[in-house]
Amino acid sequence: MAQQRSTRGRKRLTPAIGDEVRVPADTRNQFSRYEHFAATEWARQPIDGLVVSIREISSGQPVKVAAGPARRYVFDLLHDRTFDLRVSSKGNSQGATAGRPQRAQAFALVQRALRQLAGRSAPASGGDALAGPPLQELLDGWRLVRVCADDVEVREPGAQE
């Protein structure tokens, strides 16, 4: 679960495995192969997803929680499109409504599984975590996005936009 820290008088949440996060549209993804889905209709959209893995850049080690500025980490995010009924499988998107993939039954199951997985150890990579048990049985395909950015915001439960 996200940890809170104070940033100039306002609360800031620190991303942890299993948290729902957003990389704002105006934030550059420094992992260039994934820079905001270049040349697609999604290019000017924020990147929303669940944190599957976090790797500290300086040591190369996987961690459970990003302690400090986001730019010190590489995040593997399970993109919300994985649960979006407009572009995803029926199994992944069941229960979702347009623009609210978090309502999909699979979303809650995957989030819970990620948090349980992180309780044991930090996954080395998002791809490895999603391809292995218990996550491999929960999803019928997925979109993983690797992010290295100055701003990775934890979305508070119930936050709607």
DSSP string computed for 60-104: --EESB--S-GGGEEEEEEEGGGG-TTTS-HHHHTT-BTTBGGGS
pLDDT for the residue 99: 82
pLDDT for the residue 7: 40
Q: Give the 3-state secondary structure of residue 154.
A: strand
Closest CA to 79 of 121, 116, 40, 117: 40
Q: Give the 3-state secondary structure of residue 35.
A: helix
Tokens (6 digits) for 45? 């959209």
Closest CA to 91 of 138, 129, 48: 138
Q: What is the pLDDT of residues 90-141, one digit of tens each?
A: 999 999 988 888 999 999 999 999 999 999 999 999 999 999 999 999 999 9
Q: Give the 3-state secondary structure of residue 51.
A: strand
Length of the chain measured in residues: 161
User: Does the global pTM surpass 0.95?
Assistant: no
d(CA 24, CA 118): 25
d(CA 108, CA 112): 6
Q: What is the pLDDT of residues 70-84, one digit of tens each?
A: 999 999 999 999 999
b/e burial code for range 77-100 (CB count within 10 A of at least 16 → b): bbbbbbbbbeebeeebbeebeeee
pLDDT for the residue 52: 98
37 Ramachandran zone, left/alpha/beta (phi>0; psi -120 to 50)? left
CA atoms in the 13 A half-sphere facing the CB of 125: 6
